[in-house]
Structure 1
Amino acid sequence: ILTDLNNTKNRFISILSHDLRSPLTGINGLLEILCKDFDSFSDEEKKQFLSGIYDSTKNLTSLIENLLQWSKLQQGRYELIPNNIYISQLVNNIIDLYKLSIATKKIQIHTDINPEIKVKADENFLSLILRNLIDNAIKYSNEGGSISIIAKNVNRFIEISVSDTGIGIDSETLSKLFKIDENIRSKGTKNEAGSGLGLLLVKEMVEKSGGTISAKSTPDVGSTFTFTIPAVQ
């Protein structure tokens, strides 16, 4: 068991180390160009450079946050604090975080969530789960695409799905999504980096919250990720 845990840790860190280099290289490269020839660029060109730096910084922040949470989980240092959470409010707050990315790709966001639906969950866990899934949906959506977020009661659980009309996932890759020993690194539609580590963390957090997660996808049509969280009884 200890050997398996060490192998998992080493694999996770190896993938993450590779992915951390990409946004850092992007930030350094853009800043170097700006510093050397700042006065020669138009205001519009400067905005484009700053937008690229912002995107790389956001990606870097997401990777680091996933690493910190995963580390706490592996060491048993994360104490779950379940609270009653209104799904609609949390989803709207997360969508606000991605306003710029959504606007840049001209993505339409659709939500179908009764404002009275509540779940019993750790808010940090649930927020990170939704942020990873919504971030992926944006990342793999084409310009002008759409994303739907739906929540409904299913027995004693709330079933939440995040669907996109993006590039989709082939069946072979789909079968590897939640496995640490598989390399499923892929690029988004605007060349955004993707390693699949967020989905590994999502799966672990969903299961520790007492739920399950699944995915279905069709290439060039889109993907849907569905997870369950205990409802407030």
Structure 2
Amino acid sequence: LTLTLSFYLMIPLRLYSENRKRYELEKENKTLIEVEEMKTNFLQLVTHDLKTPVAKIQGLTEHLKRSLADKLLPKDLELMNHIFSANEDLNQFITSLLELTKLDNQGICVKLQSKDLNQLLETIVIKHRFAAQAKQILVKTEFEPLFPIRMDSELISKVLSNLIDNAIKYSPENTVVCLITREVDEYIEVIIQDEGIGIPQADMQNLFSRFYRVKNDTTIKVKGTGLGLYLSRYFIEAHQGTITVDSIPDKGTRFTIRLRMNLQDTDLVQPGLRILPFNKVSETKGNTNYA
């Protein structure tokens, strides 16, 4: 009789305990969602409000440099260039945060159009020519003749521009950044290879993580958001493509992008694909078979 009573008494106690745990989990989850929404709204508000004054500073600095070019002393011109450069870094940071909050809230729409990848790369190289010349870095192109492929040129441009910018920033003076395009099976490969500082093996697994930056004596001097590679992988995988990295410390780094040649709207989840951000880190390679 005692055992029977104990059994029947334990049932409501167990149900009460399970319901209480479920309630606490739901409450905790609701709180986390509210905190996440507050954080996102705050970031959107702050970054949006910062965009206008930053643009004004940039415009005024450019105007002063042009209008006072013959009156500025070398030290004044150098100071003006520092202001312009710092403002550029801030603008890039704000843009990355806006992009990130937009992705977190809305996902992304991939709008496929037929584009010439080689022409796209040539346009991007021109934009980075001044930065390369300032460090006497030769940007070498080895483009295989290619047929146009379907892609979202705006998203792919952001990826390529970020990788070329990184290759220049993290390479010493008098080195070479090599850009290669080629057809491999059903894919187009784009390779961005530099002779820079390289990436330690310990950092490879986190390289595409949100806000992650490799920390050493060189990278600490270079401004960055830690979002460039995260967003790059996001945009490439939205095209059903891949991005991998090979690196040897003190010798250089090579990023390889593979894009499908025959990508169609039907290959996406739906035309105008909406993909939610991911937290999982893609596997990267540590191949050391190149010089």
Q: Identity of aligned pairs, percent?
A: 28
Q: Which residue of 1 aligns with 2:6?
A: none
Once the two structures are TM-superposed, the CA of residue 182 in structure 1 deviates from its matched residue by 4.9
The reply to whether residue 124 of structure 1 matches residue 124 of structure 2 is no
Structure 2, unpaired ranges of 5+: 1-28, 62-67, 264-291
Match of residue 257 from structure 2: 227
The structural deviation recorded for 1:71 is: 2.4
What residue in structure 2 maps to residue 99 of structure 1?
A: 129
Provide the rounded CA distance (Å) in 2 between the counterparts of 1:185 and 1:177: 11
Paired residues in the alignment total 211
TM-aligned CA distance change 1:59 to 1:118, over 3 Å: farther
| Residue 82 (structure 2) pairs with residue 52 (structure 1) | yes
Are positions 1:163 and 2:221 aligned together? no
Take 2:231 and 2:216, find their aligned partners in 1: how far apart are those partners? 17
CA shift, 1:58, in A, is 2.5
The residue number in structure 2 matching 1:35 is none
Counterpart-to-counterpart distance in 2, 1:66 and 1:181: 10
Displacement of 1:69: 2.5
Deviation (angstroms), 1:180? 2.8
Residue of structure 1 in register with 2:233 after alignment:
203
Cα distance in 1, alignment partners of residues 179 and 135 from structure 2: 18
Q: Match for residue 113 of structure 1?
A: 143
Instruction: Flag the 1:187–1:230 CA change in 2: closer, same or farther, 3 A.
Output: farther
Shift of 1:189: 6.7
The one-letter code sitting in structure 2 at the alignment partner of 1:211 is: G
Distance 1:195 1:217, change over 3 A: farther
Residue 114 of structure 2 corresponds to residue 84 of structure 1: yes
Instruction: Give the superposition deviation at 1:172.
Output: 0.4
Q: Which runs of 4+ in 1 moved over 4 A?
A: 1-7, 185-190
TM-score under structure 1 length normalisation = 0.77
For 2:81, the aligned partner's letter is S
Rg comparison, structure with higher value: 2
Cα shift at 1:147: 0.4
Cα distance per residue 1:100-150 (max 9 Å; x no partner): 211111110011113534232111110100111111111101011110111
- In structure 1, the gaps of 5 or more residues are 32-37
Residue number in structure 2 paired with 1:144: 174
- The alpha-carbon distance between structure 1 residues 43 and 182, as it changes in their structure 2 partners (threshold 3 A), is closer
Give, in whole Å, the separation in 1 of the partners of 2:253 and 2:114: 29
SS at match of 1:135: helix
Which one-letter code corresponds to 1:200 in the other structure? Y
CA RMSD, 1 decimal: 3.4
Aligned equivalents of 2:249 and 2:221: distance in 1? 17
Q: Is the 8 A contact 1:102 1:138 kept in 2?
A: yes
C-alpha contact 1:187 1:194 (8 A) present in aligned 2: no
Contact 1:164 1:222 in 2 (8 A): yes
Which gives a bigger RCO, structure 1 or 2 (Cα 8 Å, sep 6+)?
Answer: 1
CA distance in 1, matches of 2:140, 2:174: 13
Q: Please give the residue correspondences for 1:8-87 in structure 2 after superposition, counting only pairs within 5 Å.
A: 43-76=73-106, 78-87=108-117
TM-score, L = length of structure 2: 0.63
Contact kept, 8 Å, 1:211 with 1:228, in 2: the verdict is yes
Aligned mates of 1:80, 1:113 — CA distance in 2:
25
